[in-house]
């Protein structure tokens, strides 16, 4: 095991992109991958990739048929979880990430 230097990370965001190849709901079916890609692209465009770690994940346990699940972990703050997230919520979550 090797320790990773994560000191540059100010915020870590997990976006569920889980895709179930069956009828059961999953975040890929409600825009999870698109939300992740938009967030990742914004961080990349703004050159914030060292401090803003955006990660796509498997199921985070809050599956629904409305929107994806997003978890925001900011240094020194309590985690914030969002469920039923749609693309229209991108700006709200972006503000939270940077507040």
Across the chain, how many H-helices and E-strands are there? Answer: 2, 4
Strand-strand pairing, 11-16 and 52-57: parallel
Instruction: Give 65's Cβ-side CA count (13 Å radius).
Output: 3
Q: Report in angstroms the alpha-carbon separations of 91 from 3, 28, 38.
A: 34, 20, 11
Stretch that binds ligand FES, among 35-43, 62-70, 71-79, 85-93 (CB under 6 A): 62-70
69 lines the binding site for ligand FES (CB under 6 A): yes
| Closer of 13 and 18 to ligand FES (Cβ) | 18
Per CB under 6 A, contacts with ligand FES among 28-57 are: none
Question: From the CB of 27, what's the least distance to ligand FES, in Å?
Answer: 3
Choose, by CB under 6 A, the member of 12, 33, 43, 63 that binds ligand FES. 63
70 lines the binding site for ligand FES (CB under 6 A): no
């Amino acid at each position: 095991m090797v320790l990773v230097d994560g000191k540059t990370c100010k915020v870590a965001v997990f976006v569920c992109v889980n895709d179930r190849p069956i009828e059961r709901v999953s975040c890929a079916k409600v825009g999870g991958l698109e939300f992740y890609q938009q967030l990742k692209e914004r961080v990349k465009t703004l050159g914030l990739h060292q401090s803003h770690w955006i990660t796509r994940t498997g199921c985070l346990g809050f599956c629904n048929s409305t929107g994806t699940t997003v978890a925001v972990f900011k240094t020194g703050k309590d985690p914030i979880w969002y469920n039923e997230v749609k693309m229209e919520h991108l700006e709200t979550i972006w503000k939270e990430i940077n507040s």
